[in-house]
Structure 1
Amino acid sequence: MSAADPDPAVIDPASLRVLVVDDMKLMRDMASAMLRAQGIGIVETCDDGATALQALDRLDAASLVCDLMLLDLNMPGMDGIEVLRHLAERSYEGPIALFSAESARVLRTAETLARAHNLNILGFVEKPLTDSAILRLLGKLSGGAARATINADEPLSEAELLDGIRLGQIEIMVQPKVSMTTRQPIGVEALARWRHPQRGVIGAGHFIPLAENGAAAEPLFEAILGQALRAAAHWRAEGLVLQMAVNLSTANLTRLDLPQRIATAVSDHGLKPIDIVLEVTESRLIEDQTAALEVLTRLKLKGFNLAIDDFGTGYSSLEQLQRFPFEEMKIDRQFVGMAAQDQAARAIVSSSVRLARKLGMTTVAEGIESRADWDCAAEQGCDVAQGYFVSAPLKPEALPGWIAAWLTRKD
């Protein structure tokens, strides 16, 4: 997305360039026709992985970007899995959707591999391509990370991020969470964006890792928390009571003064700890468990709600549930998004819900992107839904209008 774009939640399809990589001409032609029918401005096709990499080199040489790559997995010569490895070696940051007729289980494994490569993977699309699948991908592009405008040859620096924080370039979007039984909005999650004057709007996945355990970690958290608390206080003043969820980083969990600092900030904004949910990703808990245990226990004693994020993707999930005082389990989107089609993913969601209930925890189904996802998560007993079917991330000021529209939706 260009720096001139007014809102990262809105992308003009005519401005997008999509690369379709598939060895079958029929599939390439069908995908191209359907993408153009949705208003996509430029659709390019490649019949194998090596040609796709050459196409990316050509675009990079011309200072152009690929806004979305549809990548087939099973191709002669260089297959899609090998392409993913080459993309990771290039530190490729463009959005990728896997596009294949392979089984859902194979697709899920490939998606997991892509995420392990730290690639910007949007998920997978089963063949044959449908209009609804294209719309879901466009929704992810619109509300998720910004278009791939970052030049891999000019990586972001910590100094650049510190300047961005100081100049007020970090802003939050909020993604609603709703009850699956009453459909009532119950809270939002604060998601960071960096509105860079030269690079455009940068998604959190590009700069949050840069801040971890560095000089930018604390000021970045303060910037995000401050905006989140101001938004929550503003809504409350208008009679809108919603919990605000904010993510904690590894650096946060080693700061023993964090509980009092957050408590003071919450009080200064006229809010209470119960109004705030602090989310922690499983993998971050293994960095320094002693410090994390103290910090999270003190936060709990002060009345804050604690959530374990991306449940099921870490290394010792059950141990984390036993050791830390969580009351909310966020089931990872890779399981929720697969559950309607894949028996193994559905079993993972179901067993996670049962475990959470026995521990007295609320469950949040992340990645609800369709009615089928919603129905499946509800059938498994999930308490709360979050995802693009409910809403893409919004600017805080747009939330009241979204609530009014959501409460009148019939789907």
Structure 2
Amino acid sequence: MPTARVRPEPRLSGFEIRDGLASDAIRVVFQPQVFSQGGGVRGAEAFLRWQDASGVTLPPSAVMEAVEKDRLWPSVTKAIMARTLKKLRSWLQKDLPVCIGIKLPGPVLIAPAVVDAIAEQVLQSSVKPSHIVFHIESLPADLSLIPAQQTTLGKLHDSGFRLSALCPLLMTDFTLSRLGYSLFDEFRIDFRLAHPSTRGDRLSHSTERFVAGVRKANKLSIVQNLETRADYDIAVNTGVDLLQGYFISKPLTAAEFEDWQDRPSWQP
């Protein structure tokens, strides 16, 4: 029997991305985030999508390689911010009290002019900075920052934006003890990074340590990529504050997310 061919995932060039940015190819979807106690909606994380000239929607992987190679992060981030702010302003005008998380890539963090431009973009949108949570990833295991990152994140924090750090599943006692001294307002762990052998009691134990450290620091704890009922039970039983992942909801269009918020609360 002949082997079925796997269609290669598309990869756009830097030229195609520049052309797409000029023709408004950026799309944004929103994955809901709920409180573990009560299931109320806290907000969502904004995710990049790309619509090509034929109208087909492509995943972030189609553009990431060229974006990083050609250093197009400032332009892409600006486009994501513009679309997100437009929707966020509309939801706030409808009295939907949401916070939206937006990823800030590493290269952006060491460019003060880019961060200043982002802050100005928010100011012009009339959205209060407190409704935006910048998700910072690719940090070292001890969550330390180089001076340039410390400066740019400090400016964002002082301007009223919330900052969220992605943490390793296994954190040292020293790192946990220092969370209260950091610029970050909330800390996330990613259950998808857990090896199958660490599921169950080991994942529950590491999550419990994480939550205790975050709570002692008087910050918010979040689990992302919650995909099963077992994941949900671990997160809730260990006291995680906020939940996000396919077990809660897939990423939604702006219209779908608005409808999703109409429910009184989320329940498993």
Q: TM-score, normalised by structure 1?
A: 0.58
Distance 1:173 1:380, change over 3 A: same
Shift in Å, 1:312: 0.3
1:1-400 aligned within 5 A: 55=3, 59-60=5-6, 65=7, 149-150=9-10, 155-197=11-53, 200-212=56-68, 214-283=70-139, 289-309=146-166, 311-312=167-168, 318=175, 321=179, 324-334=182-192, 341-400=199-258
Distance 1:250 1:341, change over 3 A: closer
SS of 2:112's equivalent in the other structure is coil
Q: Which residue of 2 aligns with 1:138?
A: none
Structure 2 letter corresponding to 1:396? A
Question: Retained in 2: the 8 A contact 1:340–1:373?
Answer: no
CA distance in 1, matches of 2:17, 2:145: 25
- Percent of pairs identical after alignment? 22
Cα offsets for 1:101-149 (capped at 9, x unmatched): xxxxxxxxxxxxxxxxxxxxxxxxxxxxxxxxxxxxxxxxxxxxxxx64
Shift in Å, 1:212: 2.8
SS of 1:59's equivalent in the other structure is coil
Larger radius of gyration: 1
Structure 2 letter corresponding to 1:170? I
Question: Retained in 2: the 8 A contact 1:336–1:346?
Answer: no
CA distance in 2, matches of 1:254, 1:214: 16
Q: Which residue of 2 aligns with 1:16?
A: none
Distance 1:318 1:213, change over 3 A: farther
CA distance in 1, matches of 2:158, 2:107: 20
Shift in Å, 1:198: 5.3
Distance 1:284 1:215, change over 3 A: farther
Structure 2 letter corresponding to 1:166? A
Shift in Å, 1:209: 4.2
The structure showing larger relative contact order (alpha-carbon pairs under 8 Å, at least 6 residues apart) is: 2
Shift in Å, 1:208: 2.7
CA distance in 2, matches of 1:192, 1:225: 10
Structure 2 letter corresponding to 1:364? I
CA distance in 2, matches of 1:197, 1:313: 40
Question: Retained in 1: the 8 A contact 2:27–2:48?
Answer: yes
Question: Retained in 2: the 8 A contact 1:171–1:195?
Answer: yes
CA distance in 2, matches of 1:185, 1:409: 8
Question: Retained in 1: the 8 A contact 2:108–2:115?
Answer: no
CA distance in 1, matches of 2:262, 2:126: 25
Cα offsets for 1:244-299 (capped at 9, x unmatched): 11100122111112443222221211111111100110338999812111000111
* Structure 2 residues not aligned, in runs of 5+: none
CA distance in 1, matches of 2:97, 2:115: 23
SS of 2:96's equivalent in the other structure is coil
Deviates more, 1:335-344 or 1:345-354: 335-344
Question: Retained in 2: the 8 A contact 1:250–1:284?
Answer: no
SS of 2:5's equivalent in the other structure is helix
Distance 1:271 1:205, change over 3 A: same
CA distance in 2, matches of 1:166, 1:187: 29
Shift in Å, 1:347: 1.7
* Structure 1 residues not aligned, in runs of 5+: 1-45, 47-53, 66-147
Shift in Å, 1:187: 1.1
Shift in Å, 1:404: 2.3
SS of 1:194's equivalent in the other structure is strand
CA distance in 2, matches of 1:340, 1:221: 35
SS of 2:121's equivalent in the other structure is helix
Shift in Å, 1:182: 2.1
Distance 1:276 1:357, change over 3 A: same
Shift in Å, 1:162: 1.5
Q: Which residue of 2 aligns with 1:117?
A: none
Distance 1:409 1:321, change over 3 A: closer
